[in-house]
Amino acid sequence: MTIFHPDQIREFISHTCRALGSEQDEARLVAHQLVEANLAGHDSHGVGMLPSYVDGVVNGKLQVNAHPTVVTDRGPLLTLDGQAGFGQVNGFEAMQMGIERAQLHGAAIVGLRNSYHIGRIGHWAEQCAAAGFASFHLVNVIGHAPLVAAYGGADARFGTNPFCAAVPGRDGRPGFLLDMATSIIAGGKARVAANKGVKVPPNTIIDSEGHLTDDPNALWYTSKSDERGGALVAFADHKGSGLAIMCELLAAALLGGETAHPDNARDGRIINNMLSVIIDPASVGQAEAYFDEIERYREYLLESRLRADCEEMFVPGQPEQIARRDRAEGFEIDTVTLQQLRTCAARAGVAEIEIAEMLGEH
């Protein structure tokens, strides 16, 4: 494991994106969001995603320098098409539009369909919170084979389909932030575990024979063939499974996007559809009273006695705050991921000497 400074990795990602043809702002947004995911403790959505982006561009699945286009505009209701462009651009611009509409109308509903991978969803809730708005977001994932089994099944039928919600605090950061996959673990966490050669938590993956396991490789490999035969387990059994299904229907089908149904394209893309609701707290009550109430409630929660088997208690958003503190000067990248980054940068057209210099290997 090697520790890298955030600025060093931002430069590496930005340079790689520019080599792919991205304009400066696009490269900056991609680099910023991926590194912010690592800093928030979510390595599954961080720099390790870059190889899949390079693959998407090289294979014509991911369109550089694309921007969301307006499909429906009905005041506080917007539907956008992401044109299979970088999700970091689509997500940022969609939230900008939604925030502007919420400022005008008190609330906004923004549907973003057909965007390439939009990364860590908490990033978009944080963008809304920084502007003083509460928000929640439902997302589905299509374009590759499904990863998660419906409750009671052994075959993957949908993606990790995240749900995210945040309320703003006084300091421009979320007062609370809940950002979660509807599977027990995200697919990226299985990838990170496999790269590190470690296990995932018990009973989070179903192998090709329908048995629960802690082997991350069981998600991709089966003893009977070279094809992936496993599935992730939805959290809380029928509850996580049901929420994931509603993400398919509300974040995709409702917006004219595609669900994970096999009749829709499975061509190796990573396409997200997202339904976002953005609310101005001042339009539904008194802002100061709202801030006072969430601060009182935070204190009330954290005053609780600890459960016998727990050493610490967290409220939503607190793990990310701790990770940002601990990783401010750098974060680790495992050797497998590091090699994947070298390979993808070269594939994008970055010279070997530049790769070595940016990664401190000269």
Domains of the chain: which residue ranges? 1-65+334-362, 66-183+237-283, 191-233, 287-315
Distance spanning both ends of the chain, measured CA to CA: 18
Which CATH entry fits the domain spanning 191-233: 3.90.1690, 3.30.60, 3.30.420, 2.40.10? 3.30.60
Which CATH entry fits the domain spanning 1-65+334-362: 3.40.50.2300, 3.40.50.360, 1.10.287.1120, 1.10.1530.10? 1.10.1530.10
| Average pLDDT rounded to a whole number, residues 188-195 | 87
Residue in the structure block whose two tokens are 């900056």: 28
**Residues near 264 by beta carbon (within 8 Å), at least 6 away in sequence:** 142, 258
Its pTM stands at 0.93
**Residues near 318 by beta carbon (within 8 Å), at least 6 away in sequence:** none
Cβ–Cβ < 8 Å for 273, 252: yes
Which CATH entry fits the domain spanning 66-183+237-283: 1.10.8.60, 3.40.50.920, 3.40.1160.10, 3.30.1370.60? 3.30.1370.60
Band (195; pLDDT cuts 50, 70, 90): confident
| Averaged confidence pLDDT in the chain | 94
Cβ–Cβ < 8 Å for 56, 270: yes
Give yes or no for residue 221 having a pLDDT over 70: no
DSSP 8-class letter at 253: G
SS3 assignment, position 277 = strand
Q: Which amino acid is at 273?
A: N
**Residues near 114 by beta carbon (within 8 Å), at least 6 away in sequence:** 81, 82, 83, 84, 257, 271, 273
| Average pLDDT rounded to a whole number, residues 210-227 | 77
Q: Given this model, what pLDDT does residue 1 score?
A: 75
Would you mind telling me the total number of residues written for the chain in this entry? Answer: 362
| Average pLDDT rounded to a whole number, residues 128-151 | 94
